[in-house]
Amino acid sequence: MNVLAELRSRFHTALESLDTAAGEYADMVLPSQDAKFGDYQANCAMPLGKRLGKPPRDIAGQLVEKLDVADLCETPEIAGPGFINLRLKEQWLVDQLQQTVNDPQQLGIAVTSEPRTYVLDYSSPNVAKPMHVGHIRSTVIGDALCRILRQLGHRVISDNHIGDWGTQFGMIIYGYKHFVDESLIGEDTVAELTRLYKLVNQLVEYHNTLEQKIPKIEQEVIELVARIEQMHDATELEVVKERKKAAKRLRQAEGQLAGLRTTLDSLRSKVAVVDDDPKLAALAAAHREIGAAVLAETAALHSGDKTNQALWDRFLPACLQSIEEVYRRLGVTFDHALGESFYQSRLAGVVEDLTKRGLARESDGAKCVFLKDHKAPFIIQKKDGAFLYATTDLATVQYRLEEWQPDTIVYVVDHRQSLHFEQLFATLRLWGVEDVQLEHVSFGTVLGEDGRPYKTRSGSAVGLSGLLDEAVQRAKKIVSENDDSRETPLLSSEERQQVAERVGLGAIKYADLAHNRTSDYVFSYDKMLAMNGNTAAYMQYSYARVRSIFDRGEVDVEALRASNATITLNEPSERALAVALTRFSEALQRVVADYRPNHLTAYLFDLASTYSSFFENCPVLKAENSQLRSSRLLLCDLTARTIARGLNLLGIEVVQRM
Ligand code: ARG
């Protein structure tokens, strides 16, 4: 049962009987910060008192009178100015847990009474280039949300909106036509395509940097230098206040200038990488128009050019296979992987329909939707006739609505695309798409230890596959050292490998999920693999530790569950553990409410700590009598099962020993 939701609903009824509009205050029922105020606390009497012009304590008294919670709580207590403190009944807690013992499937998790249909759009990498660290967040957050929504009883359709139709294909087509090594392409297609992609991208960037970016910044520097010279005069002004202001502006401008120069330096060193390599330099000289040529190859593909289409047909499977490999390792699956290419036939229709309805119009040759509150229009067709990312997204929504009739479409995509989604959603509303909730679940950047976006030493994106390998390797070292430090090591070498896989991959996923998704976070193997703190390793270790009790006590856990052993809650730390266990449902509900899996990691971490104090205070195997021993073993079992399920909902596997 979701206790919090239940209490809120009971409060809702009581509140409405006091004042018809008061129901909204039910959200002010919250878990107590401190056990001495009970398990839950309601602060609604204060604002309500103010509204009705009555003393809050009186309101609290009336509320408590109307409140029907006798089945689950002790008599509510009114404290201080009008706080209502609620303490769950021991018998009720016991009943809940006892039911959970016998319900391995649902494990006490409340199923929603209002199932919704969600389309979840996550991972969605652009293929033809290898997956990199930037893809981890969308993949892991999306997968966790998918699992949790399903656990709560919603219908979820997961769809990997793969970027399989963009410029990156123009790059590999151009690369294939000019630079391919035929012997390699047959042998390891993906490796050769990656090489081609990187080479072409590097050459395009080279010319773009040399011909566009550097001159633009050089111009900015010249202008800024001139402005700064003028500003120097202003710092000689008579009036002190004016002089101070001028000095401040000057400092700002100088800061800006320093920033521009740093950018310029890094651009120049990028160019130097090519210039200093005779082979690359020769290629760059021989392919001056490469930027435009790549766009032309892309355009040819889009307009049905036979050769390019054949190359695409030939290369796409290999690209998909390489991302599949990453998903297999991560244990991530999708119901559909309808890439951008899937929507090609719909794009012209989208533009036509929006134009016909007067929603899109031509501007500088391009077809645009102009939106209130947005300076820039949403461009759906370029001057040269090409369709855009935006057009595909419009067609995709159209398809999803027809095909799956979702109540909600969720896009798990990084925050840099916020504007795109704002414009997409606004355009959809204009287009008459009304009944579906549209959510951009955005997230921050993965940073390196230097606080800048995580890159390899050479400045390129960190490949995802290598990242996973490294985490597993490091986990293996930790697990092995830990096991070797035992008097008699526990784990066989296969077991060590399996544990290392789960701990290593778990570490990466958990570190990502435990951060508030909207913040950036620093990627640190040391932190994420730490045995202490809010990490996967700690949670997996907690799980294994609880399970080890059953081994040590030679307890048949299946038999224990099936027995009629009962739970008793006499010690405060037993009771605290019971309360924590009943909150699982609540935590999952919170995740779904704002699409933040970190509510679940926080819950699990709290559960593990509560379990630790229980374990310190309450002997389990050496309990005073066998009844108490069974009761405590049941609490251990529920804890282990809750941790395992919680981690599973985050896409993380547990290990029996580590
Ligand atoms: N392929 C895009 C990228 O890598 C993300 C796609 C997200 N989904 C969507 N429907 N736009 O930036």
DSSP 457-501: TTSSBPBHHHHHHHHHHHHHHHHHHHHHTSSS----HHHHHHHHH
- Convert the pLDDT of each residue in 313-355 to its tens digit: 999 999 999 899 999 999 999 999 999 999 999 999 999 999 9
Tell me, yes or no, whether 362 lies in a domain: yes
Distance from C-alpha of 528 to C-alpha of 596, rounded to nearest angstrom: 19
Does residue 241 sit in the same domain as residue 259?
yes
Is the CB of 164 inside a 6 Å radius of any atom of ligand 1? no
What is the residue-averaged pLDDT of the chain? 94
Residue 124 shares a structural domain with residue 183: no
Model pLDDT for residues 17-70, shown as the tens digit of each residue: 887 777 788 999 999 988 888 999 999 999 988 888 889 999 999 999 999 999
Two tokens, residue 23: 């129901």
What tokens does 594 get?
Answer: 């704002």
Position 19 scores a pLDDT of: 78
Q: What CA dihedral angle connects 595, 599, 600 and 604, to 10 degrees?
A: 170
Helix 290-302 to helix 167-179 angle (10° resolution) is 110
In contact, 24 and 68? CB cutoff 8 Å:
no
Together in a domain, 614 and 521: yes
Q: What is the share, in percent, of the chain residues with pLDDT greater than 70?
A: 100
- Of 161, 341, 378, 420, the residue with max ligand 1 atoms within 8 A of its CB, to mutate for a pocket test, comes to 161
Asked whether residue 103 is assigned to any structural domain, the reply reads: no
Three-state secondary structure along 118-138?
EEEECCCCECCCCCECHHHHH
CA distance 268 to 266: 5
Task: Outline where DSSP puts E strands in 40-134.
Answer: 40-42, 77-79, 83-86, 117-121
Residue 73 is assigned to a structural domain of this protein: yes
Q: What is the DSSP letter of 378?
A: E
Contact 197, 315 (CB under 8 A): no
Tally of domains within the chain: 4
Q: Are residues 277 and 289 in the same domain?
A: yes
Per-residue pLDDT band at 186 (split at 50, 70, 90): confident
- 417 shares a domain with 347: yes
Q: What is the pLDDT of residues 213-263, one digit of tens each?
A: 999 999 999 999 999 998 888 777 888 888 888 889 999 999 999 999 999
Evaluate: CB of 160 within 6 angstroms of ligand 1.
Answer: no
The CATH number given to whatever domain includes residue 406 is: 3.40.50.620
Same domain, 441 and 551: no
Query: How big is the CA angle at 450 (ends 446 and 455), to the nearest 5 degrees?
Result: 50
Residue 420 CA: nearest ligand 1 atom is 11
Looking at the DSSP assignment, which residues form a beta bridge with residue 463? 132
Q: How far is the CA of 159 from the centre of ligand 1 (A)?
A: 11
Asked whether residue 161 falls in the same domain as residue 172, the answer is no
Q: Return d(Cα 25, Cα 43) in angstroms, integer.
A: 9
CATH number at residue 28: 3.30.1360.70
**Strand arrangement, sheet containing 29-31:** 29-31, 40-42, 83-86, 77-79
Question: pTM for this structure?
Answer: 0.91
Q: Is the CB of 123 under 6 A from ligand 1?
A: no
Q: Residue 378 corresponds to which tokens in the numbers above?
A: 């949403």
Is the beta carbon of 534 within 6 A of some atom in ligand 1? no
Structure tokens at 213: 């970016």
- Contact between 355 and 346 under an 8 Å Cβ cutoff? The reply is no
The answer to whether residue 284 sits within a structural domain is yes
Contact at 8 Å (CB) between 585 and 1?
yes
The DSSP code sequence of 135-185 is: HHHHHHHHHHHHHHHHHTT-EEEEE---B-SSHHHHHHHHHHHHH--HHHH
Stretch 357-383: mean pLDDT: 94
Both 37 and 64 in one domain: the answer is yes
Q: Which of 398, 413, 447 is the last residue of a domain?
A: 447
- Please give the pLDDT value at position 658: 87
- 506 and 628 fall within a common domain: yes
- Residue located via tokens 């012997």: 183
In a domain, residue 655? The reply is: no
The CATH code of the domain that includes 619 is 1.10.730.10
Q: Tell the burial category of 511 from Cβ atoms under 10 Å away from its Cβ (0-12, 13-18, 19+).
A: buried
The helix/strand/coil state of 192 is helix
Q: In testing the pocket of ligand 1, which one of 124, 136, 423, 440 has its CB within 8 Å of the most ligand atoms?
A: 124
Does the C-beta of 137 come closer than 6 Å to ligand 1? no
Of 273, 291, 309, the position where a domain reaches its end is: 309
Structural domain of residue 289, as residue ranges? 168-309
Backbone angles phi, psi at 447, to 5 degrees: -105, 155
Q: Pick the closest to residue 649 from 467, 451, 513 (CA basis).
A: 513
Element at 574 (helix H, strand E): helix 572-582
| Last residue within a domain, chosen from 309, 333, 366 | 309
Looking at the structure, do residues 432 and 325 belong to the same domain, yes or no? yes
Beta strands in 303-345 (DSSP E): none
Tokens for 429, please give them.
Answer: 């509303």
Nearest partner of 120 among 87, 94, 142, 144, judged by Cα: 142
d(CA 130, CA 127): 7
CA–CA separation, 448 and 165 (whole Å): 31
Assess whether 422 and 495 both reside in one domain.
no
User: What is the average per-residue pLDDT within 485-501?
Assistant: 94
Tell whether 453 is covered by a domain: no
User: How many CB atoms within 10 Å of residue 58?
Assistant: 14
Here the tokens at position 340 are 């951008």
In a domain, residue 657? The reply is no
* Gap from CA of 354 to ligand 1 centroid (Å): 22
Q: How many helices (H) and strands (E) does the chain have?
A: 25, 13
In this model, does residue 643 exceed pLDDT 80? yes
Q: Which atom of ligand 1 is nearest to the CA of 135?
A: 4
Residue 93 lies in a domain: no
- Are residues 148 and 193 located together in one domain of the fold? no
